[in-house]
């Protein structure tokens, strides 16, 4: 799956859920941020397998980090967006 396909899914999810999220594509990944504060929320990077993406969250170190300690959280984009919306780790800096 290409980043522009992921970006289209993100935009549709954002619109369906009231907006407020921004998106930029950088270095082969889609970066989500909060429009109001420009705070980073999540990064979705295609894995190259099916349409799965690897999730990352913004860390206190000022960089993207895997969501878990076991090689990264990998799932389809739709599931990833639901996960981001529901998990507090993505909203710490927002």
For the cut 80, the answer to whether the pLDDT of residue 70 exceeds it is no
By the 8 A CB rule, do 81 and 90 touch?
no
- Whole domain around residue 51: which residue ranges? 3-91
Mean pLDDT (the chain, rounded):
88
Question: What pTM does this model have?
Answer: 0.84
Looking at the structure of the chain, the number of domains it has is 1
Length of the chain as a residue count = 94
How high is the pLDDT of residue 17?
A: 84
Q: What mean pLDDT comes out for the span 23-32?
A: 90
CA distances from 15 to 39, 43, 54, 63, 70 (A): 19, 18, 22, 27, 32
Please tell me whether residue 14 adopts helix, strand or coil conformation. Answer: helix
pLDDT above 90 (res 56): yes
What percent of the chain has a predicted confidence (pLDDT) above 90? Answer: 39
């Amino acid at each position: 799956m290409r980043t522009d396909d992921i970006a289209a899914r993100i935009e549709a999810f954002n619109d369906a859920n009231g907006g407020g999220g921004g998106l930029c594509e950088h270095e082969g990944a889609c970066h989500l941020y909060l429009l109001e504060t420009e705070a980073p929320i999540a990064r979705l990077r295609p894995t190259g397998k099916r349409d799965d993406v690897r999730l990352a969250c913004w860390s206190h170190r000022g960089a993207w980090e895997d969501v878990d300690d076991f090689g990264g959280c990998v799932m389809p984009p739709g599931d990833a967006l639901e996960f981001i919306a529901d998990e507090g780790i993505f909203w710490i800096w927002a």
